Amino acid sequence: TGCLYLVGTPIGNLEDMSVRALRILKEVDIIAAEDTRNTKKLCNYFTIETPLISYHEHNIEVGGEKLLTLLQEGKTIALVSDAGLPCISDPGADIVEKAIALDFPVVPIPGPNAALSALIASGLTPQPFFFYGFLNRHKKERKQQLEQLKKRQETILLYEAPHRLKDTLKDMEAILGNRRIVLARELTKKFEEFLRGTLQEAIEWSQTEEIRGEFCIVLEGNMNVEEEPEETYWQDMSIVEHVEY
Ligand code: SAM
């Protein structure tokens, strides 16, 4: 009977592929991949011969229908993304929701994840944490998102593309103020590196260096959140009183 496996794959180092993930990728009827060319390389490396179909953000509708049909035909499917866990800043959430609605088992096969790997080695408070993923690529929206993040007391986890890092760090400092930050670069790869310091230091660093590689940002939460003044509460109550029913 149909079953959807969500399989974690390496974020750089192929040795991070789990024994169970390998077995599942070999046993399923089909592997649904974010980018079949990328996954083909992984399969070649591990001599996995399972057929691949594509499921990415630009074919979620058609691809999703196709996957559901396959599940209904009793096929087992492993969903993988280019790196790390499917659904985490990657395609998958949509098909998971639909598979659950149709009562198909959805089985996670845990594996590497960039944000959590960055968090545990960051040296910042690991919990509570708030995973945000990517900020918007447009400056105005990005600033609004940072405004929303400003008051959060949890450690904040973000993904960012190297060519946007410099601007993002500047916006962060302008909106959130100077805080501790850790940049985790090229996790699990040859040039893995952690840059630990303050936002101001990170900005300085980003100006001297050509920024290359993959980055996770781990940002300290707001350490000086003021208590909401009680007045606000009463003001809100008075608004409610004026509503006419
Ligand atoms: N699904 C993935 C996961 O579970 O971590 C995340 C996919 S998201 C599209 C890609 C982003 O994750 C990159 O832009 C980067 O911010 C981060 N990332 C992925 N691999 C990384 C690595 N090896 N080192 C640092 N960051 C990485």
Q: Which residues of the chain have pLDDT under 50?
A: none
Among 89, 96, 120, 168, name the best residue to mutate to test ligand 1's pocket (greatest count of ligand atoms within 8 A of Cβ).
89
Sequence-separated (6 or more) residues with CB below 8 Å from residue 136: 142, 145
Both tokens of residue 151?
Answer: 């008051």
List alpha helices for the chain, DSSP H.
Answer: 19-27, 36-45, 60-72, 93-101, 114-122, 139-149, 162-176, 199-208, 230-241
User: Whose Cα sits closest to atom 26 in ligand 1?
Assistant: 215
Both tokens of residue 225?
Answer: 């959140």
Among 11, 113, 156, name the best residue to mutate to test ligand 1's pocket (greatest count of ligand atoms within 8 A of Cβ).
11
For residue 88, report the distance from its CA to the centre of ligand 1, in Å: 9
Sequence-separated (6 or more) residues with CB below 8 Å from residue 223: 153, 179
Position 62 scores a pLDDT of: 77
Each residue's pLDDT tens digit, 204-217: 999 988 899 999 99
Position 80 scores a pLDDT of: 98
Q: Tell the residue number behind the tokens 């399972």, with chain if given.
A: 50
Position 63 scores a pLDDT of: 79
- Burial of 57 per CB tally in 10 Å (0-12, 13-18, 19+): exposed
Is the confidence metric ipTM above 0.95 for this complex? Answer: yes
Each residue's pLDDT tens digit, 109-133: 999 999 999 999 999 999 999 999 9
